Structure 1
Amino acid sequence: MHISGYMAFIYWFGLPFLLSVWSTSVSAQSADLPDGVLEMECHDRYFMMAVDLSFTGNELRFEAVDSNGSVYDITEQYQASCGYSINILPMLGQAEIRASYFSCHTEKDEEKFVFKFNLIAMHDGQEVTHTVNKTCSPLLPWSPREVSCEVNYMEISVRSDQTCPKKGGWDSVLMGAYVSPVSDWQVLFQNRGKLIPMTIVEARLQGYMFVVAGGRLVFRAPYGKPHSFTAMVDGVPVEVVHATLFSRHGWVVLMVDLRVACSKYEGSYSYSDSHSYSDSNMVWRTPLVFAPPASGVSELNSQLDMSNNDGQLKGRDFSIWVNGQLLEPEVLKKRGYVMVETNTTLQISIPYDSEGARRKSLVLDNVYHEYFVFYLYFEHLFEDEDHVETRFRLLRSLATPLRSQPAFSVNQTVLEESMFTVYLGPFPGDVELVVVKMNGHQFTMPLHYISNVVHPNNTHGYTLSVPFEDSVVSSQFYKRGVLQYRLDINCSLMILPERRSYYHLASVEAQMTGIFPPAFEGFCSEKSISFKLEHKPFHSLWRAYIGPDLLTPDLAFDKGYIMNNDSQALHLTVPLFREGYAYKNIRLKKFSGSFEITIRNAKTFDVQDTFVMTCTFPTTELVVCSTDGLMTVVADLSSAMPTGGNPSRSTLLDSKCRPKEADGTRVLFSFALGSCGSSFELVQENAIYKNQIVLNQKLLTARPPDMVTVQCVYPIPGLYRLFLLHRFESEFPGMGSMRYSTKNVTRTTDVHMGPRAFSPQQSVRRSGTPPSVTPKTMLSAGTPRPREPSNNLSGSARFVQSRDWGW
């Protein structure tokens, strides 16, 4: 925006006499900076004080204090008339008050000006008054005529030694003064050819102010008064107020002509469609030669140097301040400011992203918006044809329209790095990332996943780096051999200093091909099954389980496995009759033993693959206690059988229970635990089922010299169905053992080990016969019917949490 205006003087007695009548003397004072006041500065022609809004509780007001200690509340109407301007700057988190050197209650003389204010703020719901004093001196000598255009008022001051204008054109004004019936000071307003007289008192009641101070006469008028008018100068609107101050003494008239005009151009804007502001500009125009319609007033001649070919202005006639800092011509050029004359106007283009622009961010419906504000102070120095120097000053806040600036995310992931890399941004300097959610896991900043990226245009972004194997990354097999990783990102951002929040969502996926679960090789030996797994990339995505237990070195040791794991391969040897085996097709000569390894997803624990190795082993002696209540026994009776005895004639305690198979020395029995004369007892937390292989039933009435005792031991917690549903179903396989009692030898053989926690100790209850339970008993109205024993024997074991084991 542009300040334009001039003042002409006709004085018949002399302006020094006028100034001597109105002037007063003052004294200067100062005080320290109080809390909450960010800065107090003396500028070229005004005083400025900035106050922290957070300190004031966002509720504050100002009072002016004069030399007598009287206070005046600076209301919106009062500040425009008295030379004050209060501006709230939310983007800076502060309020600012500016006061003209000739403001109403300032103590004034030619060399110094004393400002006194009361800052009234709210603290804990109560008003607290802070006193502020500041003494300022002009930085530059006063020009004969000075015009200032503030945001809410126009002001002109003239010094006393101004000469009369060389040309006429004052006939109508002089005639109006001569015919005035009074000799007191009066004001004559001119508005498009109309003359409106009034007294000084009447003018002040309408908001106009006349002041004599510091050797100068000052006239101030708020914008939009009825006696001002708008003139268009090459398309630029200019508000003009023209007042003539006069006093008649007989045939002599003392007259001071005051005219001030200020550009009301609010600026225009040019945009770039890209995210960059390099092609977006704030454009502002002002007249170079201002001559509002008034007869007899000559145009003002601008002292511009337009000699360069590109049309840009040079010389010392123009000065631009941004945020209170004077910008030298080389600085203007470096920041991209362009000043060009078009017809009779000066056009200034300011890049949005130039240094000194204030960016303001806000959120509307979770969409990030921003605008730019330029706190501009513009000065133009020129002479009229009477060679009277005039200095124009403009203070304006130029704001761009609201513009959305959405953040975006860029997937920069490289599959070979096995890591998600995502760029988030760009964000302006007053926006910061505070919380990141990844697949529902919340993290606060600072965060080791995040690195800050600074850009040269005063914006920044963030790079998120998360390895595929990180626990926050979800993975699943898109199809066989194709592993898909996914990361859902929710970024919570905050605009400072208001701490307004919004969020930005992003999702990234990556697919790896040729990814298959580990595959074991199996090998059979006479007394064990061995496994081998060669380590390959991505095997860490899975874990090996034995039943519900994670395969670890500790688990292998506890269960009696032999495990060796190096960088090349995993080797596992499982001796026969260790926990985890399943037995099938048990015969006197051979039986099948199977061992199963389950491959599970390392994160979800879902079963991905199952590897079962089955081997055929020669049968010697064994006792298998199945989970469905069957005891299968292969016993060698050679040491207990009398000479010439026949194993096929042996029985269990119930003589009806005879061997399924027999040869010259061995027998095979398979029977339900609750049948064939079995006994049952509770020993602490174990249930024990016993039976005997009897070689000669006739000897049962005497001490049995030739018997083989077989038993199965089950943990009671795993037999809940037995006690609740009267149906045998164990969560654990039993521990089997065999004891030989003969005249010559007594020996005990554990031929199939169940969980090692089973240790029969003190008997709690003993009974000659077990509970009336049969394997897989179906309850009915009649007598329970036992199921025929099966030769397909297998069991399950309790889940035990183990330490993690890596490939």
Structure 2
Amino acid sequence: MNSANYEHIGSWLGEVIPVMSASSSPDGTQHTVLTPSLAAQCGYSMESDPWGNTRIYTSLMGCYVDNKEDTTFNVGLRLRMYGQSPSDVTSHDVTQTCSYSRWASREILCDRNYMEVGYFTLMVVLFSCESGAAHGIWKMTFFTPEPVAMVMREAEQAGYAAMTTPTRLVMRSPFNTAETYSENVSNTALSLVVYYKAPHGLNVVNLAAACPTGGVLFTEDVISWHIPRRVTPLVDGNFKILEMHMGINGQRLDKSQMAARGYTLSTTDFHIITELPVGGPDGYYKSHAPDYQYHITYSVEPMLDVLWRADDSHDTRYKVLFPITTPLMPRPPHVEDHTVPEDRMFSIHMGTFLHDVELKNITFSTGVLTLEECNAKGFAVQEHNLPNGTKSFSLQVPFDADVVLKHVCEMTIYFLPLIFGFLILPEETPFAHPVDLEASLQDVVLPTITGTCDQNVFYITVKYGSQGHSFQTMVGSQQLTPDLGEVYKLQENGTHYSLVVPYIAKDTAFELITSDSIRARLDVLLWDPNNSWVLGDLYLACSFPLTTTKCYPNGTMAALAVKVESVPNLVPSWLTLKDQSCKPVFSDDRFAYFSFSADSCGTTRTFFDNYMLYENEISLYYGNKGTTYTSPVDPDYRQTVSCYYVVNDTQTIAFNYKPRNGDPVAEIGSGQLLVQMRLAQDSLYEVFYQAEDYPVVKYLRQPLYFEVELMGSTDPHLELILENCWATLHEDRTSLPSWDSIVDTCENSDDSYATIFHPVVRDARVTVPSHIKRFSINMFTFTKDEEVLKDEIYVHCDAVICDTNSQADGACRGQCVHPTDASVLKLWNIYLSFQPALHHVSLLYIALLVQASDYKFNIIMMSFHYLA
């Protein structure tokens, strides 16, 4: 069964959609729209590539074809091209006349959407497509393989077409009808019996058709199409192939044409094999972007035309039109970096792409730019069309453009991160390809750091590089600010700056301690915050003289323990002597000071000739604290304290006794002292919340930094001691429940989140450090039954003012020392209240009058909010 072929009917792009209608009247004035289902039923098919190049195939035995004696065939079509709007319609009429008389006994046609079988019969009466049911075909029985009988009208309703001509009986079936079935996996078959009325009675004809649905093998370069040499159920016995032709797009090719295109047609015992090169001139490539990755396919439509003769001398012409598209082939774009750093210009070439790919935009570090915007900014974007129909793109960007990132190290490293945004036409499918460019130039002099030490301080000098002072300085863990520079005696000019940092500053790290020295290290880092680059660093370690053990003639031993870097989780206040009840007399976050007699705290004595050795050990006994605060990988902390005394020695001491006339009597005087408690914003204790700042919002895990200060006094012999501090839910200091934070001048050891005392050093604000105590408590403290309290919280403190010249015992021995008695002035009910609600806060200052045992107190009231 042959077909008429209309090649390249129109050429359009984008949203133009062709619709076929066939002339259904002799004068061509009436047309029937060929929907996809009607086209398959009537023997029409249409193939369009993505750019609108269209081919239309019509079976010579199709509906609406003017058939003259089965030799001359006329067909007329009207094509309507619909644009983006319903009113944008263009019509195009086409006609074709074909002459064909070399009919075989059986003709089988396999098109893309239907299969057709025609059988030679001796008919005398002309039956048309419309009159076939009334005068010719009566009924048909399909075998699937079960028999299914239909009359002509039922078959037409099921999508089939059947007709008779003067010499032929024709049956057509779309591939998706119910009575078609798959056989041997790669074939779709149709088998039926047709009953039709002939002039001399009822005739019965067996018809069968089978079309291939697979059999294609792919390599990177070749498409191999395999068709069974014996197509069942078309051949039962022996047969002989008389003719075998290959074609493209429905047109036969001779051997010279096949050789010129690289096509081959061969046979084996079981198959007819057609081989086509991928990329041949009769097919086309198409771009795709699955998962936003660039791929291509190659499509081509070969044709096989075979004529064979069976044992019964009946000829069969078997024609197959078989569109083939290769699987997706990844084609990641190839990037060529043509950058020459000395030209200070990034230059990139990217390709290759098929002609259906367009570059739409480029994403830089600053944002997305269209091609027009790129060129407007001085970035040269160009498209290059190549002779083989592909294209590539190039881009040039100056080093000094705002989209270029810089890394200033020993040389300047320029970075240009890019994302090219593409579209595939006409579907407008997007995909992207990232490219990172990098170039280096030796055009930068980096800043340098040098340093020295003396017996007490580090001397640091930083010399600027070619970029000037365009960096930040980190001293230890802190950024060098104007305030910190004032502390470290910052001096600066146009070429360099210098620092003087005491070795005991909090920004240093202690590496090693011996009996007479300590090795401290200062880390200085020059940092570019814009690019997160390290421009320079210095790790300066020096040994400084430090006596850690003192032995007094009266048998008193004193020792200083230092937190070193190798024990990062050490809390000095937890250190004890061998007798764990012997705790530091003073401690902060870096030091712990012990003072004890040689016959206490588990001190051992050993005799050596004329000397006695008294020895103790400072160490950390984890106890219950270890599970909470100490990692099992932390090293042990042990420091030996040794004192040597001469055994045999004689000292002459003069002593005179003079009885006193009476007991000493304290002189009664009066004065005024002012004490205030404030809440600092952080651990630097430089900025404090003011009255208008309250209430202050705080969260769990945030510490509260308190400072209690004796105001209005410059007497260096007075010391403020915090004796007890606790929190309640009510203003009444005796109300319950309550939480202890400071007990008997020390941190509450029963609290899993212990209070921390912070050292006070002399500075521009603090003239007498003994007048100030600082401590912090963790917001986890205020929980009850593991639930966060949302009530009003009051913090109370009992404070003690001591004369440091007296030999008083008890609290006046110092913060966190256990006294037995004291002669002190007590401050009561210094409390800090805070609550969840936002309300007005009053700030009151009340003087403390010291008159005999009559005390009058000031109260500072603040409120703040904390959140779980």
TM-score category by the smaller chain?
Answer: 0.3 to 0.5
- Structure with larger RCO (C-alpha < 8 A, sep 6+): 1
TM-score of the pair, normalised by structure 2: 0.43
TM-score of the pair, normalised by structure 1: 0.46
